[in-house]
Amino acid sequence: MLSDRYHYVRPADEAERTYLESLIREDFERCHPDETLEDVRRRAAFSKEDNGILRDWMAVAAIRAAAGLVKGPSAHAARSRVPDS
């Protein structure tokens, strides 16, 4: 299950984080119409719930990057840090 607290993605830098977020932004906004990823990222620093939501969505982004669903400059870097199932 994605919400395992030890199963999460650690982007190497801000460019990789931006790339991964671009892979999920549209779906996230469709599922959470009154929020943005930036809102959740900001609250994740002090909210376990938001931290879990962000962790799960970033795991989806890493899986998409690893699967090659979207080509981008950081696709190889993201692929190297996809958690094992």
- pLDDT tens digits for 49-66? 999 999 999 999 999 988
Mutual angle of helices 48-67 and 14-31, in 10-degree steps: 110
Sign of the C-alpha dihedral, residues 41, 42, 48, 49? negative
Q: Which residue has the higher pLDDT, 81 or 64?
A: 64
Q: Which residue has the higher pLDDT, 4 or 33?
A: 33
Distance from the first to the final alpha carbon of the chain = 9
Does 79 have pLDDT greater than 50?
A: no
Count other C-beta atoms under 10 Å from residue 60's C-beta.
Answer: 16
User: Could you tell me the pTM of the whole model?
Assistant: 0.70
Mean pLDDT score across all residues of the chain: 78
